[in-house]
């Protein structure tokens, strides 16, 4: 029996490492497919942690990191980013075991992942000639230039690309200054999607998954709206630093209200019995179309007054 157990463990370990490595390789090569692969990368680590315990859960990301390091030219920002993805899956399941509320689970997973990631990036920056600020600025620049090359390969007209090239310095300037909000939002989004995707995976294999209740009934705390108003007021204050705080705060709050907007959409998908394939198509549209995404954020924000799901309303 012990031999059977060890063979199964090795099999799951090998599958977890291969899937994790392949997903990250796709993420590096294809920005569009990479978006969808990114949210799946934490799952193999989470699965092995749930099925085989803490030690095997740590082995999966460790082996995947060692396998990918030579392909990425040693330690790099991309490798550190990959570490954060798999580390998120590990931390998330550790918090599952504590049976916390869904808000605390997502918030703590995001906070721990960000704190460890920031520490690692800071240590890495000390080993290079550039400081932390220059490291981030260079990374943003490389990604912007990679995006332009992608547009060219997709056949986007030169007249469309030229204004972007001319405004590249300005775009870089803005993005570097909203990196804090983008990092927090990305961590929240990764934790939230991993939590949702883990449910069918873990329950399908009869592994532990906490009972968070019906997540499509979730709503943000009502006092949070005052934070939105406060950040909005910061934007009209002439002081540059205050405006930066305001825009960073708004971006983070938009992520939270996006979760509430998606909960509303999921509620009506379930209520109207939308086919699974149609749901996947519509969710993909939300992920890829910024205008639709902003509409979802608006749904979440105005739900406090309009109560789209009619929560707490008794019917005769």
pLDDT at 205 over 50: yes
The separation between CA 264 and the C-alpha centre of its own chain, rounded to angstroms, equals 20
Q: pLDDT grade, residue 199 (50/70/90)?
A: very high
Q: pLDDT grade, residue 124 (50/70/90)?
A: confident
pLDDT at 195 over 70: yes
pLDDT at position 314, please?
Answer: 54
What is the percent of the chain where pLDDT is above 90? 35
Q: pLDDT grade, residue 260 (50/70/90)?
A: very high
What is the percent of the chain where pLDDT is above 70? 94
- C-alpha span between 59 and 48 (Å, rounded): 9
Q: What is the pLDDT of residues 272-315, one digit of tens each?
A: 888 888 888 888 888 778 888 889 999 999 998 888 888 766 55
3-state SS assignment for residue 305 = helix
Contact 21, 140 (CB under 8 A): no
Contact 67, 17 (CB under 8 A): yes
> Residue 137: in which H helix or E strand, if any?
helix 132-153
Average pLDDT over residues 130-147: 79
pLDDT at 3 over 60: no
pLDDT at position 315, please?
Answer: 53
pLDDT at 187 over 90: yes
pLDDT at position 130, please?
Answer: 66
Per-position DSSP letters for 185-208, written without gaps between them: HHHHHHHHHHHHHHHHHHHHTT--
Structure tokens at 162: 């030229």
């Amino acid at each position: 029996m012990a031999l059977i157990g060890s063979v199964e463990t090795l099999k799951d370990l090998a599958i977890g490492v291969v899937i994790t490595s392949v997903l990250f390789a796709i993420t590096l090569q294809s920005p569009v497919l990479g978006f969808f692969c990114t949210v799946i990368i934490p799952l193999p680590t989470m699965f092995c942690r749930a099925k085989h315990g803490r030690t095997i859960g740590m082995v999966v990301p460790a082996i995947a990191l060692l396998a990918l390091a030579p392909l990425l030219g040693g330690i790099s920002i991309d490798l550190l980013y990959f570490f954060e993805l798999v580390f998120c899956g590990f931390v998330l399941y550790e918090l599952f075991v504590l049976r916390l509320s869904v808000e605390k689970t997502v918030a703590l997973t995001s906070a721990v992942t960000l704190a460890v990631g920031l520490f690692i990036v800071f240590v890495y920056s000390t080993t290079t000639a550039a400081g932390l600020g220059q490291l981030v600025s260079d990374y943003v620049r490389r990604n912007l230039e990679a995006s332009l090359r992608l547009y060219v390969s997709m056949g986007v007209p030169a007249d469309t690309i030229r204004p972007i090239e001319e405004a590249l310095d300005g775009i870089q300037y803005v993005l570097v200054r909203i990196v804090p909000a983008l990092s927090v939002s990305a961590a929240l989004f990764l934790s939230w999607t991993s939590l949702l995707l883990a449910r069918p995976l873990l329950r399908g294999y009869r592994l532990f998954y906490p009972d968070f209740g019906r997540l499509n009934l979730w709503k943000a705390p009502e006092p949070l709206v005052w934070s939105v108003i406060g950040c909005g007021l910061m934007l009209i204050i002439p002081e540059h630093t205050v405006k930066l705080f305001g825009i960073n705060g708004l971006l983070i709050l938009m992520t939270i209200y996006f979760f509430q907007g998606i909960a509303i959409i999921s509620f009506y998908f379930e209520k109207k019995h939308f086919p699974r394939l149609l749901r996947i198509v519509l969710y993909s549209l939300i992920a890829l179309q910024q205008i639709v995404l902003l509409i979802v954020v608006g749904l979440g924000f105005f739900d406090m007054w309009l109560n789209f799901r009619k929560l707490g309303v008794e019917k005769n």
